[in-house]
Chains A and B, each alone.
Chain A
Amino acid sequence: MASKVIHAIYTDDDLLLQAVKQVREARYHIGEIYTPFPVHGLDKAMGLAPTRLAITSFMYGVVGFTVAVVMMNYMMIEDWPMDIGGKPSFSFLQNMPAFVPIMFELTVFFAAHLMVITFFLRSKLWPFKAAENPDVRTTDDHFLMEIEVANHNTKDLTDFLYQTGASEIKLIDNK
């Protein structure tokens, strides 16, 4: 069955934030919001769950640290424990200070890069991806709120959105 959505366009971020609060209070369901720049407090107003990206980053950092330790331990201590300039390669701990710069960099490298890749995967971003913005003006100076019509009365919903200060309201048929 084809679902219908309403695209309400706002020209001001304060107005948008206000509208989001009113729409949620009226218990209409917001699908997506497209903005040209980050609007502070929008995620809170929409009631979005906080991101867990930082947690993944921490875990990737732990992985990077482990990789560095295992790698240095294998190469410098177990495989070929050579005497290089008198450095004590009898055990990992003895020669550890020399490995710390590598341990640090690999931790940062893994934490940063894997987190970015996670971000790309989770937000479905990659080269040659078809752009999804429903109205080109949302990348410049317009804010677009998408509300699912579901079984609400279209007329009531339109009137309500008009009251919240929308400058343009369109009914879209999703095929």
Chain B
Amino acid sequence: MYTLSSKLKLFSIILMAVGLIGLAIGFIVAPSTIEEVKEMVASHDGHGESHAAPGQIKSDLSEDPDQGLEFVPSEHEVQTGRTDDNQTQLGTNVDDHENEHYEHILHQLQNKPWAALYVAAFFFFMIPLGVLVFYAIQWASQSGWSPVLFRVMEGITSYLLPGGVIIFVLLVLSGLHLNHLFIWMDPEVVENDAIIRNKSGYLNVPFFLIRAAIYIAGWAIFRHFLVKNSNRLDEAEPNDLYYFKKNFKLAAGFLVFFIVTESMMSWDWIMSLDPHWFSTLFGWYVFASMFVSGITMIALVSIYLKSRGFLPFVNDSHIHDLAKFMFGISIFWTYLWFSQFMLIWYSNIPEEVTYFVSRIEDYGILFFGMVVLNFLFPVLLLMNSDFKRVNWFVVMTGLVILLGHYIDIYVMVMPATVGESWFIGLSEISSLLFFGGLFIFVVFTSLTKAPLLARRNPFIKESEHFHY
């Protein structure tokens, strides 16, 4: 039986407290009027220059042939979706135009703490979801190596419900117009935008919230019964496999339910932030991100518990297998990232390519940096078979992968919500700390609720002696 050390408890509470304070400051500091924005821009002298009104990008570029070094030919840079509202107003006088520019920045800055909260909430929510998928796959495939890790996975998935509720609350707050994360929720925008109007059969607040509730409730219910049956199996008679068979079917059912809901979830919660844009493999792409983060978290928590002496039955071969999954799914993620990017880059259709134009222009370092973190690091560090058995190596790579996938979510959400006004500052780090603390607290508390070895699982003997 695992006992939560008071140090870890204190640590997670401190993280949550510091995160909350930081978040509160982030919300207070966000400007509420155009005058404040003007002051802020004026105080960053010279900085405002690079953030010139989006409507002016055209002239800037034609003066500067060096811009041709961007990935995308410069004539396409004019047509970014974010400048739509400005371009329709180009005929008006300079003052109006400037005010509109500041209003644009005001909206972005007001979105910033919300978006930071949303990114971190989603990032920590997708980890237990990825773990739950991995867990269900282990049941459905009747794996012989992983049952010793079942309780670790069950512990991590305990964050699914609280994390899901937080996401849902954030979505409800968006639906109540407390923020402008989802522009299609703004009736004024919908009225003036035929593209969004045509999608309003799917993208409307009540249906959106109902769907979100179905996803979260569905996943949480499946998780609840999978874990419950797994615990009941421990109490069962030695040859009674009733709960094992039940979980096998339940896991298979969950995987079917998941792949449908996950795909829709990614359209709803992330792709709809850019309601003018769509991509068919987006669901898979988000899935790869959550899957690899989840597996990485299993490895990290297992290594932590093992180092504290709570998992004597977990050997290097188990860690080796997890590291292989981290390696393989990292490559899978890169494959999807590249497929999505390259297909759109290659055909360069204006209505699709704006998505990447805004990301490469404003988020270049993050957009390409995350490929280094999520692909190059794992590939080079985890390719060697011996390295996959060295625990600190796996931990180090795991932290890089988690950071990379945080940035991945960041780059999915931020360009649509705060645009070029992004900065990884107080709000972003605070929300990471807050959700990190909550995650640690929930997960490790739930790990104390059941013995760390699933005794009666029919594969447990094989798993304990697993050797690669």
Within the complex, which residue of A58, A91, A94, A98 is in contact with B346, where a contact is CB–CB below 8 Å?
A: A98
Whether the Cβ atoms of B348 and A94 lie closer than 8 Å is no
Q: Which residues of B contact A94 (CB under 8 A)?
A: 69, 71
Report if A165 contacts B (CB, 8 A).
Answer: no
Assembled-state Cα–Cα distance A54/B69 (Å): 39
Say yes or no: A97-B73 contact (C-beta < 8 A), given A58-B383, A86-B348. no
Report if B48 contacts A (CB, 8 A).
Answer: no
Question: B144 → chain A, closest Cβ, in Å?
Answer: 15
Of all chain A residues, the one with the shortest Cβ separation from B343 is A97
Report if B338 contacts A (CB, 8 A).
Answer: yes
Whether the Cβ atoms of A97 and B341 lie closer than 8 Å is yes
B324-349 residues with Cβ-Cβ distance < 8 A to A are 338, 341-342, 345-346, 348
Question: A125 → chain B, closest Cβ, in Å?
Answer: 25
Report if B68 contacts A (CB, 8 A).
Answer: yes
Whether the Cβ atoms of A100 and B342 lie closer than 8 Å is yes
Within the complex, which residue of A91, A97, A100 is in contact with B69, where a contact is CB–CB below 8 Å?
A: A91
Whether the Cβ atoms of A97 and B68 lie closer than 8 Å is no
How many cross-chain pairs have Cβ atoms below 8 Å apart between A and B? 22
Say yes or no: A97-B345 contact (C-beta < 8 A), given A88-B73, A90-B68, A91-B69. yes
Whether the Cβ atoms of B342 and A86 lie closer than 8 Å is no
Q: Which residues of B contact A91 (CB under 8 A)?
A: 69
Mark contacts of A82-99 with chain B using CB atoms, 8 A cut-off: 1 yes-contact digit, 0 otherwise: 000010101100100110
Tell me whether chain B's interface is mostly helix, strand or loop, or mixed: helix
Mark contacts of B197-212 with chain A using CB atoms, 8 A cut-off: 1 yes-contact digit, 0 otherwise: 0000000000000000
Question: A106 → chain B, closest Cβ, in Å?
Answer: 16
B361-391 residues with Cβ-Cβ distance < 8 A to A are 383, 385
Of all chain A residues, the one with the shortest Cβ separation from B335 is A104
Assembled-state Cα–Cα distance A91/B338 (Å): 20
Question: A98 → chain B, closest Cβ, in Å?
Answer: 7
Mark contacts of B57-70 with chain A using CB atoms, 8 A cut-off: 1 yes-contact digit, 0 otherwise: 00000000000110
Mark contacts of B108-121 with chain A using CB atoms, 8 A cut-off: 1 yes-contact digit, 0 otherwise: 00000000000000
Whether the Cβ atoms of B73 and A86 lie closer than 8 Å is yes
Whether the Cβ atoms of B385 and A54 lie closer than 8 Å is yes
Whether the Cβ atoms of B385 and A97 lie closer than 8 Å is no
Assembled-state Cα–Cα distance A97/B73 (Å): 14
Q: Which residues of B contact A100 (CB under 8 A)?
A: 338, 342
Q: Which residues of B contact A58 (CB under 8 A)?
A: 383
Question: A21 → chain B, closest Cβ, in Å?
Answer: 17
Assembled-state Cα–Cα distance A97/B371 (Å): 13
Assembled-state Cα–Cα distance A97/B340 (Å): 11
Assembled-state Cα–Cα distance A88/B346 (Å): 11
Of all chain A residues, the one with the shortest Cβ separation from B383 is A58
Q: Which residues of B contact A98 (CB under 8 A)?
A: 342, 346
Assembled-state Cα–Cα distance A100/B385 (Å): 26
Assembled-state Cα–Cα distance A56/B342 (Å): 31
Assembled-state Cα–Cα distance A146/B248 (Å): 49
Assembled-state Cα–Cα distance A86/B341 (Å): 17
Question: Which of A58, A86, A88, A91: most chain B CB closer than 10 A?
Answer: A88
Mark contacts of B65-90 with chain A using CB atoms, 8 A cut-off: 1 yes-contact digit, 0 otherwise: 00011010100000000000000000
Question: B267 → chain A, closest Cβ, in Å?
Answer: 25
Mark contacts of A58-80 with chain B using CB atoms, 8 A cut-off: 1 yes-contact digit, 0 otherwise: 10000000000000000000000
Of all chain B residues, the one with the shortest Cβ separation from A97 is B342
Assembled-state Cα–Cα distance A90/B72 (Å): 12
Assembled-state Cα–Cα distance A130/B223 (Å): 61
Q: Which residues of A contact B385 (CB under 8 A)?
A: 54
Whether the Cβ atoms of A97 and B383 lie closer than 8 Å is no
Question: B248 → chain A, closest Cβ, in Å?
Answer: 29
Q: Which residues of A contact B73 (CB under 8 A)?
A: 86, 88
Question: B389 → chain A, closest Cβ, in Å?
Answer: 14
Assembled-state Cα–Cα distance A168/B246 (Å): 53
Question: B64 → chain A, closest Cβ, in Å?
Answer: 15
Of all chain A residues, the one with the shortest Cβ separation from B71 is A94
Question: A29 → chain B, closest Cβ, in Å?
Answer: 28
Assembled-state Cα–Cα distance A97/B339 (Å): 10
Whether the Cβ atoms of B346 and A97 lie closer than 8 Å is yes
Of all chain A residues, the one with the shortest Cβ separation from B342 is A97
Q: Which residues of B contact A88 (CB under 8 A)?
A: 68, 71, 73
Assembled-state Cα–Cα distance A90/B345 (Å): 16
Of all chain B residues, the one with the shortest Cβ separation from A101 is B342
Question: B129 → chain A, closest Cβ, in Å?
Answer: 30
Q: Which residues of B contact A90 (CB under 8 A)?
A: 68-69
Assembled-state Cα–Cα distance A97/B334 (Å): 13
B172-186 residues with Cβ-Cβ distance < 8 A to A are none
A98-142 residues with Cβ-Cβ distance < 8 A to B are 98, 100
Assembled-state Cα–Cα distance A58/B384 (Å): 10
Assembled-state Cα–Cα distance A72/B89 (Å): 45
Assembled-state Cα–Cα distance A86/B71 (Å): 12
Question: A40 → chain B, closest Cβ, in Å?
Answer: 10
Q: Which residues of A contact B341 (CB under 8 A)?
A: 97
Sample 8 A-B pairs with CB under 8 A, ordered by A number. Answer: A54-B385, A86-B348, A88-B71, A91-B69, A97-B71, A97-B341, A97-B342, A98-B342
Hey, which bits of chain B sit against chain A, CB under 8 A? Answer: 68-69, 71, 73, 338, 341-342, 345-346, 348, 383, 385
The 3 closest A-B pairs by CB, nearest first: A97-B342, A97-B345, A88-B73
Q: A88-B68, A90-B68, A91-B69 are in contact. List 18 more A-B contacts (CB 8 A).
A: A54-B385, A58-B383, A86-B73, A86-B348, A88-B71, A88-B73, A90-B69, A94-B69, A94-B71, A97-B71, A97-B338, A97-B341, A97-B342, A97-B345, A98-B342, A98-B346, A100-B338, A100-B342
